Chains A and B, each alone.
Chain A
């Protein structure tokens, strides 16, 4: 299966001396005040990870949205290919028994 990364930029590792005049793209994940997991909120440019976190703080947490920030350089994200969506996702469409809709969930169990 092929993977794609539309935001992929040239490798910035030292082994590659290629000069780049644009800061790399970073994907930003924020854990909200009451959220349980970090959620993707958007992306931004920054010269390094420290500045990416600072930029994320300034761009995405101005209104008290978060208590924790993750950033990852976009080129490190592997993504599924849109053209594979048939084999990847369609087989699950006909498997209703995988949804827990045939059980009564007690109220005490809370959100699942």
Chain B
């Protein structure tokens, strides 16, 4: 970082971390399927999704490092922070479990992500809007694909339906966090950088409602929301295990490149 770096902007830094940590953690989770998906077509499709998300991570964490002005690169932020410094939603760190669970998690995230990125295209911060405009095309496709699979498996055999309903019951309590604003969200929204987190709920509900109806799945009748992911206050224990795998190389061999 040069001495001419912009004045530190903690709220914008946090916001970029939240966006980048979501895509980083989910991208890694999805990449865990590489070589394990039920059919090769899905294996490749999941790898493509993971790579899209990691690509978006480079942009968001790259911007975070730039905003922070402390000389940290996207790689530094990805590989040299511990769990409590991560700012991703709890939803994306939930383990993969079975294929249906993975795709339902993907669909729930994609639906929020698409609403968020669509709004971010009009951000008052040009660097944010630029990233959103690139990512929104990728994410439109992610949602098409994950929604199709959720519908196919939900409205499929008794076995696949039961697994999808179980996945929905497990994941639903992790949906609400994205829509509950904290002080950072409020400041960022007031500055026109991002939409008010709560206003995205209506669009999300409409999208997900239509998908779940077609999938013959019923969300639990509760808006209870686990929180603590995007603030970093209370991640689930699964994040630490994931980071242990993801960060091993840079921790064991600092600065290793190839």
> Which A residues are closer than 8 A to B by beta carbons?
23, 44-47, 50-51, 54-55, 57-59, 62
Distance to closest chain A CB from B41 (angstroms) = 4
Using A47-B152, A59-B44, A62-B48 as known contacts, say yes or no to A54 and B39 having CB atoms under 8 A apart: no
The answer for the CA separation of A45 and B45 in the assembled complex, in Å, is 13
Distance to closest chain B CB from A79 (angstroms) = 23
Distance to closest chain B CB from A93 (angstroms) = 40
> Which B residues are closer than 8 A to A by beta carbons?
39, 41, 44-45, 48, 141, 144-145, 148, 152
Given known contacts A44-B41, A57-B141, A58-B41, what 5 new A-B pairs fall within 8 Å (CB)? Answer: A45-B39, A51-B148, A59-B44, A62-B44, A62-B48
Contacting B144 at CB < 8 Å: which of A45, A46, A54, A59? A54
Distance to closest chain A CB from B142 (angstroms) = 11
**List of A residues within 8 angstroms of B152 by Cβ:** 47, 51
Distance to closest chain B CB from A92 (angstroms) = 39
**List of A residues within 8 angstroms of B39 by Cβ:** 23, 45
**List of A residues within 8 angstroms of B148 by Cβ:** 50-51, 54
Contacting B45 at CB < 8 Å: which of A23, A47, A58? A58
**List of A residues within 8 angstroms of B145 by Cβ:** 54
**List of A residues within 8 angstroms of B44 by Cβ:** 55, 58-59, 62
Please name 23 pairs of A and B residues whose Cβ atoms are closer than 8 Å in the assembled complex, sorted by A. A23-B39, A44-B41, A45-B39, A45-B41, A46-B41, A47-B152, A50-B148, A51-B148, A51-B152, A54-B45, A54-B144, A54-B145, A55-B41, A55-B44, A55-B45, A57-B141, A58-B44, A58-B45, A58-B48, A59-B41, A59-B44, A62-B44, A62-B48
The answer for the CA separation of A47 and B152 in the assembled complex, in Å, is 9
Distance to closest chain B CB from A58 (angstroms) = 4
Return the 5 tightest CB-CB contacts between A and B, nearest first.
A58-B45, A55-B41, A58-B48, A58-B44, A59-B44
Q: Which A residue's beta carbon lies closest to that of B51?
A: A62
Distance to closest chain B CB from A69 (angstroms) = 13
Q: Which B residue's beta carbon lies closest to that of A57?
A: B141
The answer for the CA separation of A40 and B176 in the assembled complex, in Å, is 46
The answer for the CA separation of A46 and B141 in the assembled complex, in Å, is 17
Distance to closest chain B CB from A96 (angstroms) = 46
The answer for the CA separation of A100 and B91 in the assembled complex, in Å, is 66
**List of A residues within 8 angstroms of B141 by Cβ:** 57
